[in-house]
Structure 1
Amino acid sequence: MATKFYTFTGESSIEALKKAQETCGERAILVTTKQIQAKTINKKPLYEILVSVEEEDVPQKPKPNPKAVNYENAYSKFNSSYEPIKPKFNITEEPAKEKPQIKTTPARPYDVDESVLLNISEAAKEISQIANVDMSKIKAVDEQAHGVNKKIDDVAKQVSVLNEKLGLITDMIWDERAPSRNNLAIPPEFASIYKAAKQSGMKQEHLEAIINATIENMPTSMKANPTAVKRYFYSLLRNMLPCRKEINDRKQRIMMLVGPTGVGKTTTLAKLAARFAYGSEKRYKTGIITLDTYRIGAVEQLFQYAKMMKLPILDVIEVEDFKNALKTLNYCDIILIDTTGNSQYDKEKLDKLDKFLKYSDVQIDVNLVLSAGSKVEDLIEIYNGFSFLDIDTLIITKFDETKIFGNVFSLIYETNTPVSYFCVGQEVPDDLLEAKSEFLVECVLEGYSKNSEDKDEK
């Protein structure tokens, strides 16, 4: 075995690995991965991977030796008594007979000599006679087998129907704890959708209210069809989720991002800045103000983003300086304000945020940033702690770090606060989506995937 090495490049390591697999097949073994070009506003990232492939040594045919002697010929030349070895059985050839003329139809690509077909037919008759087999019985057995196959197909169809019904029954009894349902009657056709919603982490009272609303309002003709039930349930959930569309007018818009520590406010602000400043449809003059002077790393990170995107950025410490910063960036269509991460219990910092808002004398859109990975009880408690700031919209981050989204649904459903954006990863600015109820409902009932994201963008 010989080991050979190959390099492949792509905009991501996964793309490069796909190229390696297409070229080298499953034998390719990843050795190293490195980024050879960083991602910028104008350039895409470039990754290079090194793979090894174990290749079998192909045995080479021996070259003919010009000096080699053909012993058979040599023996026959010098030995007059040489005779080739005779076969053990004598094969005598009958004198050739004239073949009867057989009329043939025009040649086809797959024509077979009719004499061959006649011989095969005769051979079949001889075999049946030797084996003492009645050909009529063979035909009867063949017909009987055909009938058995048809019966098997019918049985398979019936088994498929039974499997569907069994699946409904299984989903219906998946949770044997009657108190957890509060004696809620779940029809078999509703069991699957109830199970999916319950496993999503949705609050029990919300789930029961929605199931009851579905059962009461759904047309009777649809209730016996599990597919129709699911479709109706999807539609009902979508109508319960308020989403705010992105404003595309040219009026000045000031957005302040608030929320607890570690939810990704600074990264989200950078994504928003890139979206507004370098959008494909419209481009807005965008400026940034940071009130987060407590975390040096966060300030440096935001200044680096602003420098890469060539956007103005101001840092503000005191409340009195905030109004001046807003005046300085008054020429901007969009002003984004980053804030310090606050616990909902830290009244001192929350009060200072409130002073920034009241002292500004301008209308500021307050966006509460929350992580999708938090428990529903924590999300609601955080919302209540920040609610005195008059929250305008929600931004939900870290979709890629969890598998359940019923908590997000319950938060929006209970607070009736519209959601504006979803963050589905760390890439700036790609992993930011305008909020749509269809996307969130699919995440709640089926989980987040890249396919869900692609559908949302369409």
Structure 2
Amino acid sequence: MQVRKFEARTMKDALEMVKKQLGPDAIILAAKDNSNKYGLVGESSFEITAAVSEETLHKKKFVESRMAENDKQQFQNSSARTQKEIISKFVTRHTTPVTKPVTTQKYIDINDEKNAAEERIKNAVQRAFDAGTLLNERTNAVPKQTAKQAQVRMQAEVKHQVETQMLAQSDSELNSLRSEIASLKAMIKSINTPAESRPQSHYPGENYGIHYELSSQFQGLVKEGVLEELAAEMILELQNQVPVTRLKNKPLVEGFLAKRILEDIVISTGETKKFHFFVGPSGGGKTSAIIKMASQLIVRDNKKVALLTLDTQKVGAVEQLRIYSQILNVPFAVIRGRGDWKEILKFINSIDYILIDTPGSNLKTQEEVSFFESMILKEIPSKSVHLVLSARNKYEDLQGVLNNFVPLNVTDVIFNHLDETAQNGNVYSFNKINKIPLFAFGIGQRIPEDFEYATKERLVDLIFHITQKNNTNNEASI
């Protein structure tokens, strides 16, 4: 989203600047009548803060880039309604909808045996055709021979070819038998070898009893951040339900694992709560999560939002949130003590959502725990306490933070920095073991686009890189 400020001598001129630079769909976030000391060259002026989505602004620039200079000037001077109609028609005319197939890859190849039989039939037909061609060539090469002589000679050649093929097949079967006998001898030798002299693990997952064909899937889950015990549990369940002959079917295996993870994930349903407390250690992204969520509620959902902060310890924390509240044109207040809540609660009836920032803390001391327990009032109805964590941290560190915040009765978890880690399976392991719901994901720096309410499908996509693989395949096909 693009957020810009415009200043002009009159309100009309300022609005024209907004329409000219951001387009007819721009949203006015705030308007201010400046006095003499803030105006242009000491005179009075009007200041407007406006915002527009990246996609809408891109459409406007696309239309202007296709116009001649005279048409572009006339377009910019036209009314907002006219501009909207021109942009809509122009984009519709110059873009062709692309219909994507439902899928580009089969997950389960049901007709393996049927396809193999068809292939054998095709090979047999081809061999018969080749034999017929050979007969015609030989017949044409000796036109002076009688039909009987040609037939006798052809029979002899066919007999010779059949005997050669049978001999080759016999040699092949003999070599195969020799190989199997050697393999059995090696197996018997390994069984007779003492256990302490044999290697403990020849491939990933063998110590859990995982079949060799599934070792790469086990290793892939662990590489994505899924705990070994959880990965082994899923793989063994798959191994018990799917025949050994089907374990090489990679789409089938990945489909089973994705479905298994979908069933385990727990998602929060606390989006409609009125009070939202954001708690967690420093560097987890609490303030950015508050700003993104507030922007989304205001711009997309047209809700009334208020921002509060309990963080009077960090330098610049209060001022930072105050500036964003001015940009979003929402109420803002600082809670310095328990008594301040009495005044705040008097003015909440007209507000849909109240988002509260808190100091960064690991709650390692009783003093910190007491402060949070006193400031997060038990009397406040309809509240959610979001523990904000960074997906870049190790599982052990995440578990330690959660254990420290148990006294606050954490409702759910927000994971930030998912775009900065290659082990999103960490989130699944944390969610699976603790059964604490996921509330939202932070996947970038853009406001509010990179704030997403958590879904099971999104986490599975991050673990298996489904969207990334599809984009790569589409680029390759182009």
Structure 1 unpaired stretches of 5+: 1-9, 12-35, 49-135, 141-174, 453-458
Give the aligned partner of residue 329 of structure 2.
310
Question: Match of 1:238, as an amino acid?
Answer: L
The answer on whether the counterparts of 2:201 and 2:207 sit within 8 Å (CA) in structure 1 is no
Match of 1:409 in 2: 428
Shift of the alpha carbon at 1:359? 5.0
Q: Who is 2:255 aligned against?
A: 231
Is 1:425 the equivalent of 2:444?
A: yes
Per the alignment, residue 184 of structure 1 pairs with 208
**327 and 243 in structure 1: CA distance in 2 versus 1, 3 angstrom threshold:** same
- Mapped partners of 2:404, 2:203: distance in 1: 32
Aligned partner of 2:354 among 331, 335, 341 = 335
Q: So what's the TM-score if we normalise by structure 2?
A: 0.55
**Matched pairs, number:** 292
Which runs of 5 or more residues in structure 2 are unaligned?
3-20, 28-48, 62-136, 142-198, 472-478
Which residue of the partner structure matches residue 156 of structure 1? none
Match of 2:399 among 367, 373, 380: 380
Q: Secondary structure of the residue that 1:289 maps to in structure 2? A: strand
Query: For residue 391 of structure 1, what is the aligned residue in structure 2?
Result: 410
Q: Distance in 2 between matches of 1:178 and 1:220?
A: 19
Alpha-carbon spacing, 1:369–1:202, altered in 2? closer, same or farther (3 Å): same
State the alpha-carbon separation in 2 of the partners of residues 451 and 345 from structure 1: 45
Structure 1 residues 394 and 405: CA distance shift in structure 2, 3 A? same
Q: Confirm or deny that 1:276 pairs with 2:294.
A: no
- Conservation of the 8 A alpha-carbon contact between 1:403 and 1:447: no
Classify the secondary structure of the residue corresponding to 2:210: coil
- Correspondence for 1:326: 345
> Is 1:371 matched up with 2:380?
no
Superposed counterparts of 1:27-426, under 5 Å: 42-43=51-52, 177=201, 181=205, 183-218=207-242, 223=247, 225-245=249-269, 247=271, 253-279=274-300, 282-358=301-377, 360-426=379-445
2:464 partner amino acid: L
Provide the secondary structure at the position in 1 that maps to 2:345.
helix
Cα distance in 2 for residues equivalent to 1:298 and 1:42: 24
Q: Distance in 1 between matches of 2:246 and 2:452?
A: 34
Question: Whole-Å Cα distance in 2 between the matches of residues 441 and 176 of structure 1?
Answer: 33
Structure index of larger Rg: 1
* CA apart distance, 1:215: 2.5
Distance change >3 Å, CA 430–CA 346, structure 1 → 2: farther
**1:352-400 CA distance string (max 9 Å, x none):** 1111223544332111000000000000111111122111111000112
Matched, 1:439 2:448: no
**In terms of mean alpha carbon deviation, does 191-200 or 373-382 score higher?**
191-200
One-letter code of the match for 1:303? R
Question: Which residue does 2:96 correspond to in 1?
Answer: none
The Cα offsets for residues 1-58 of structure 1, whole Å up to 9 and x where unpaired, read as xxxxxxxxx98xxxxxxxxxxxxxxxxxxxxxxxx99x9752457999xxxxxxxxxx
Letter in 2 for 1:225: N
Farther-moved stretch of structure 1 (318-327 vs 430-439): 318-327
**1:51 equivalent in structure 2:** none
Give the structure-1-normalised TM-score.
Answer: 0.57
Q: Identity of paired residues, percent?
A: 28
Return the alpha-carbon distance in structure 2 between the equivalents of residues 212 and 277 of structure 1: 47
Distance 1:301 1:336 in 2: 15
Which whole-Å CA distance do the structure 1 matches of 2:336 and 2:203 have between them? 54
CA separation in 2, counterparts of 1:342 and 1:210? Answer: 36
Structure with greater helix share of residues: 2
Describe the shift of the 1:396–1:451 C-alpha distance in structure 2 as closer, same or farther (beyond 3 A): farther
Q: Does the C-alpha gap of structure 1 residues 447 and 351 become closer, same or farther in structure 2, counting only changes over 3 Å?
A: farther
Compared CA separation, residues 422 and 176, structure 1 to 2 (3 A): farther
